[in-house]
Amino acid sequence: MADTMANHTFTHPRLIGVGVGPGDPELLTVKAIKAIQSADVIAFHARTGGTSTARSIAESYFLPHHELELLEYPVTTGITDHPGGYAGAMADFYAHAHERLAQHLRAGKTVAVLALGDPMLYSSYQHLHRSLAEEFPAEIIPGIPSITAAADFIAQPLCEDDEILTILPGTLDKATLTAKLKETDSAVVMKLGRTFDKVKEAMVEAGVAERAYVAIRVGMHDQRSIKLLDADAKDIPYFAVAVLPSRIAGTTAEPTKGEVVVVGLGPGADKWTTPEVLAELKTATDIVGYSTYVNRVPEYPGQRRHPSDNKVEAERALMALDLARRGRKVAVVSSGDPGVFAMAAAVLEVAEEDQWRDVPVRIVPGMTAAQAVASRVGAPLGHDFGMISLSDRLKPFSIVEKRVRALAGADMAFAVYNPASKERRWQVARLRDIVAEYQAPTTPVIVARAVGSDGEKVTVTTVAEFDPEIVDMRTMVIMGASTTRCYEDGFGALRVFTSRYYDAKENLY
């Protein structure tokens, strides 16, 4: 091999940062081997009194003519008697290392600096490159990083589809680690060793520990992996990484414990679906819901979809709970917020029965339709307000009317869900007539159809001018109160808000 590798294209003098990979000499690239063998000087780092792992990986490719430079760290734990502390000790070390290597380069020699993994990822070579590359030609040879090597070793994908991978140093404080782990899809935490207990606690608090692994001394003769929750800090060396694999890829295997997660997709526009809901949808094995809402969910590999009619809430809940009992992670989808005239109550009504109480059920909120509609005109729900469904499918209209009178009589603005359908038409007119008994004819009424879609139309009218015929099943109505006011802003837009204050002359209660 030495004879063939001697034919190279590297010129003198040159600084070369060589990535030697995670541990296995056979994981060096052909270009890395050529770079090593073309060099006059080979430099590598080691702790005081220790051996260089980078050297042990690459030394089978060393040649007799090589000059070796050991760059020995003065400190590795942050504890030092240097007057400048750890930072001062390391600054002096890099200044000294710079000068030693610069002398070789000025003498016309090629210097190869060995770096574990890749030279540009948490590597000591980066510091030398920044200073030496200003004076001398420099080249960087990529190496296989422990990040991907660990994922390959445990045979778990890091990312799939549009997932986000986060690389974290274990030296971060626990609060930051926890926050970063909560917001990402997958992660690799490096620099373990003495930081392991903190990293483990952060993963537990972030709710991701059950799917995490620790890969130890990857690429070395004693490499091994273990589930993070089974790992003990005393067995975790510095050359170890914690791997949080792909959320999506993890759905291809049956989970050991199922659950039902009821999520709110928001009123219609994709931008109104929260990141938390999207994360739950990605990791679900099954999507259950009204077909219109199921169709709004992006399709992910390995997921099963169970669309149904909009009038079978109890049956839908039973299916979700049964799937979860069999080990599936089931996302039950609702429009808006699942707890507002949607599937959360339907699922919990069934889950209350004794036979389902051992199935975990979580609720993940979403933006309500009332919030979305109100935002289009201003703040009509800016003070005390109510929400009511005008549907009499699950309760008699006498109850609906009693509650409408209570809201109107209390002089509260209120949002009206399910105001009409193809079969239910007269109820909207009755709503208008009841409110007219309590409010002035000029009281604002907002009629919003298909908010968040291409067909969105929002109309501001009054109790006297409100036409029930313009209301259909895709419409929401907000009835104003005596303190709900309208004005035209400087751009010609009509703004509606319910004041937070009452006129002291009025005795409203």
pLDDT tens readout for residues 80-131: 667 767 677 788 888 999 999 999 999 999 999 999 999 999 888 999 999 9
pLDDT at 377 over 70: yes
The DSSP code sequence of 236-254 is --SSEEEEE--TTGGGGSP
pLDDT tens readout for residues 141-189: 999 999 999 999 999 999 887 889 999 999 999 999 999 999 999 999 9
Counting residues of the chain whose pLDDT is more than 70, the rounded percentage is 93
Asked whether this chain's domains 2-144 and 370-498 adopt the same fold, the reply is no
DSSP state of 258: -
| Structure-block tokens of residue 400 | 């609906």
pLDDT band at 3 (very low <50, low <70, confident <90, very high): very low
CATH of domain 2-144: 3.40.1010.10
pLDDT at 207 over 80: yes
CATH of domain 370-498: 3.30.950.10
pLDDT tens readout for residues 491-501: 888 999 999 88
pLDDT at 504 over 60: no
Domain definitions of the chain by residue range: 2-144, 147-247, 253-364, 370-498
For position 238, what pLDDT does the model report?
A: 84
Residue carrying structure tokens 């307000």: 385
Residue 496 near residue 489 (C-beta atoms within 8 A): no
- The alpha carbons of the chain give a radius of gyration, in whole angstroms, of 33
Residue 348 near residue 334 (C-beta atoms within 8 A): no
| Structure-block tokens of residue 5 | 């590798």
pLDDT band at 411 (very low <50, low <70, confident <90, very high): very high
pLDDT at 1 over 80: no
Cα–Cα dist 110/10, whole Å? 9
Per-residue buried b or exposed e for 83-116, using 16+ beta carbons within 10 Å of the residue's own CB: eeeeeebbeebeeebbeebbebbeeebbbbbbbb
CA 140 and chain centroid, separation: 33
Residues 6+ apart with CB under 8 A from 354: none
Partners of 388 in the beta sheet?
416
- Return the higher-pLDDT residue of 361 and 85: 361
Q: How many residues does the chain have?
A: 509
pLDDT band at 77 (very low <50, low <70, confident <90, very high): low
For position 80, what pLDDT does the model report?
A: 65
147-247 maps to CATH 1.20.140.10 = no
Give the full edge-to-edge strand order of the sheet including 494-498: 378-379, 494-498, 484-488
pLDDT tens readout for residues 9-22: 445 689 999 999 99
Collapse the DSSP code of 141 into the 3-class scheme (helix H, G, I; strand E, B; otherwise coil) and give the result: strand
pLDDT at 236 over 70: yes
Partners of 497 in the beta sheet?
379, 485
CATH of domain 253-364: 3.40.1010.10
Cα–Cα dist 263/362, whole Å? 9
Residue 163 near residue 298 (C-beta atoms within 8 A): no
CA 248 → CA 82, 205, 213, 263, 354, distances in Å?
49, 21, 16, 17, 32
> What is the rounded average pLDDT of the residues 283-293?
93
> What is the rounded average pLDDT of the residues 453-459?
90
Measured in degrees and rounded to the nearest 5, phi and psi for residue 506 equal -90, 135
